[in-house]
Amino acid sequence: MEFQHRSVLLNECIANLKIKPDGIYADGTLGGGGHSFEIARRLGDGGHLIGIDQDAAAIAAAGRRLEPYADKVSIIRSNFCDMRSEAAKLGITSVDGVILDLGVSSYQLDDAERGFTYREDTPLDMRMDQRQPLSARNVVNEYSEMELYRIIRDYGEDKFAKNIAKHIVRTRAERSIETTGELIQIIKAAVPAKVRATGGHPAKRTFQAIRIEVNRELEVLENSIDDLIDFLRPGGRICIITFHSLEDRIVKNAFRRNEDPCICPKEFPVCMCGRRSKGKVITRKPILPSEEEMRENSRSKSAKLRVFERGGANDDVIYGG
């Protein structure tokens, strides 16, 4: 199956990165190479792009797509949380821009063997990086009922989380749960019939929650943003595309904290904590896909782009709507 992923908010990201021909840029979620291709083709002889992804299929696909610019692109199989250490191996200590597209690729969702889908019966997996030991099968069969309840409630924001966790534990007491189809039937039994009839797919939120847990998606994001901002040169920008409220909240709060890190009590007349701003939030409101993009790519509908600029340059600001 060919790796496919339509780059969401592509033009908006490229505009906000303000690419310089001799700049150094990092794409922490390389995917099929859509964003990276547009960055690379704008680079001159002195420019360079680092592309990072933990998915072997993405690395292979992006390598093919970026072949025309191979002399100015370094592709690394890793997680974006290790971007700075991986870049250091190339002798790169700072960059002019970073992009993260946190969406799951169409390839990963549609390839039944990867175990992300709730539309086919396939072995439970959901690993972005298949070198890691923890899979969806481990989570479903080994986590306690309280742990399952917590991740389905917090990561899936499913109001039936408690009942779904209870049904999973009850079923696995008799037999291990091996496939997506088995898990879907368990979830359906835990969700009231009238909700199943009117809402979306009853397993969607639980599958999202398990995928986030397996890949530590929110933990990695939360622990990486400050470091990625520190990785930027003065005037450099980081663009992050999120696809659900949990990710967006993390990005919004991290950007605000880096813009205004003061922890002094509000009644203090002047700042005493000594914490200095690292830059400014460019997007007071997130940039959303156009109506045209949402019509052409339904998976873009929940996308939001937020942008932060490292302090030290007096460049024009591009605000989102």
Q: 75: how many CB neighbours lie within 10 A of its CB?
A: 20
Comparing 274 with 28, the larger pLDDT belongs to: 28
What digits encode the pLDDT tens for the residues 88-103?
A: 999 999 999 999 999 8
Say how many domains are in the chain.
2
Query: pLDDT band at residue 4, thresholds of 50, 70 and 90?
Result: low
What digits encode the pLDDT tens for the residues 37-60?
A: 999 999 999 999 999 999 998 999
Query: pLDDT band at residue 319, thresholds of 50, 70 and 90?
Result: very low
102-111, 138-147, 251-260 — which is least confidently predicted?
102-111
Largest CA distance in the chain: 65
249 touches 243 (CB < 8 A): no
pLDDT of res. 72: 97
One domain, residues 123 and 249 = no
- Amino acid letter at 12? E
CA distance 94 to 235: 12
CA distance 28 to 235: 19
What digits encode the pLDDT tens for the residues 64-73?
A: 999 999 999 9
| pTM for this entry | 0.91
CA distance 258 to 64: 37
pLDDT of res. 148: 98
In a domain, 162, yes or no: yes
One domain, residues 88 and 124 = no
- Amino acid letter at 287? I
208 touches 156 (CB < 8 A): yes
User: Which CATH number is 96's domain given?
Assistant: 3.40.50.150
pLDDT of res. 106: 63
pLDDT of res. 277: 94
Comparing 89 with 116, the larger pLDDT belongs to: 89
pLDDT of res. 112: 64
- Mean pLDDT, residues 14-18 taken together: 97
* Residue after which a domain boundary falls, among 215, 238, 262: 215
pLDDT above 70 (res 110): no
Going by C-alpha positions, the residue among 205, 209, 178 that lies closest to residue 191 is 205
CA distance 290 to 298: 11
One domain, residues 280 and 291 = yes
CA distance 75 to 286: 29
One domain, residues 197 and 232 = no
What digits encode the pLDDT tens for the residues 260-318?
A: 988 889 888 888 888 899 999 999 999 999 999 999 988 899 999 999 999 974 443 33
What is the residue range of 174's domain? 118-215
- Mean pLDDT, residues 151-173 taken together: 97
* Residue after which a domain boundary falls, among 189, 215, 241: 215
52 DSSP β-pair partners: 76
One domain, residues 190 and 150 = yes
pLDDT of res. 272: 86
One domain, residues 221 and 77 = yes
In a domain, 237, yes or no: yes
The residue whose two tokens read 């203090």 is 268
User: Which CATH number is 136's domain given?
Assistant: 1.10.150.170
pLDDT above 80 (res 320): no
One domain, residues 208 and 223 = no
CA distance 195 to 218: 28
pLDDT above 60 (res 35): yes
CA distance 245 to 256: 16
**Sign of the dihedral defined by the CA atoms of residues 24, 26, 32, 38, in that order:** negative
- Mean pLDDT, residues 166-193 taken together: 96
Q: Please provide the average confidence, as pLDDT, over all residues in the chain.
A: 91
* Residue after which a domain boundary falls, among 164, 183, 215: 215
In a domain, 5, yes or no: no
In a domain, 113, yes or no: no
pLDDT of res. 176: 98
pLDDT of res. 299: 83
What digits encode the pLDDT tens for the residues 194-250?
A: 888 777 889 999 999 999 999 999 999 999 999 999 999 999 999 999 999 999 999
pLDDT of res. 263: 87
